[in-house]
Amino acid sequence: MFRFGFLTIPPSVTEIGSGAFRDCFGPMRVYFRGDAPKMGRAVFDRSWQGFSIQYEPTAKGFTTPTWLDYPCNPIRRIRSDFDFTNKGSTITISGYSGSGDRVIIPHFINGLPVTAIGDRAFQRKILDPASLSLPPFLESIGTEAFAMCSGLTGSVEIPPTVATIGEGAFSGCSRLDEVRFLGDAPKTGPSIFDGNKSGFMIIYDRQAKGFDTPTWHAYPASVDTD
């Protein structure tokens, strides 16, 4: 299925015809869950820049670093600072135990896209100064997901795929300078940015829908001028 640039090929697929996904500019990554199927010609030609194929390490028929002239590598099963729940085709982050001055939530875990940050997943977990990077396929940020993360600094970018942000999701992030929305305004719960620093600002694109200036949900808001 397509999912914001992610395509999963189930293990039941045994053959893919010529040009089946040619000129499909959406998928940035294709994940084969089973052995390599019989392939026609030019199956993924003219795909998105940065396109790549991933497969299970135990799968048969693939080669690395390329397969049929497409970038191809086995997925890496990772142990990380992030607790997560496998939803079958997506990953929800449920907890965090890491440290350091950069919190980078992975785009994929075990070959599946990270699409949700669960309720209170990072609550009070980022207390020393750190930046935050959210994954590009993210759809939802849960209730109090980053509440009281007083170490969050600088700017946080909200991917355009985010549709919902829960109550108090970034409340008490007292060092955060700004939040930049890269898409339309999501559905939000109350108090999402309560308790943030004086001068905190919401930035949004002039083409985005659903925002207001000079305030949005009572928080200072401004159109991006970059």
CA–CA gap between residue 158 and residue 38 (Å, rounded): 39
pLDDT at 141: 98
**CATH class entry, domain 82-223:** alpha beta
CA–CA gap between residue 208 and residue 179 (Å, rounded): 14
Residue type, 62: F
> Percent of the chain having pLDDT more than 90?
69
Instruction: Assess whether pLDDT exceeds 50 at residue 1.
Output: no
Domain residue ranges of the chain, discontinuous segments joined by +? 1-75, 82-223
pLDDT at 65: 92
CA–CA gap between residue 12 and residue 33 (Å, rounded): 9
Q: What is the pLDDT of residues 34-92, one digit of tens each?
A: 999 999 999 988 876 678 898 888 899 999 999 999 999 887 665 579 999 998 889 99
CA–CA gap between residue 180 and residue 168 (Å, rounded): 17
CA–CA gap between residue 100 and residue 153 (Å, rounded): 13
Nearest to 208 by CA among 158, 168, 145, 147: 158
DSSP string, 156-181: EEEPTT--EE-TTTTTT-TTEEEEEE
Q: What is the pLDDT of residues 101-111, one digit of tens each?
A: 999 998 888 87
pTM exceeds cut of 0.95: no
Instruction: Assess whether pLDDT exceeds 90 at residue 225.
Output: no
CA–CA gap between residue 136 and residue 158 (Å, rounded): 9
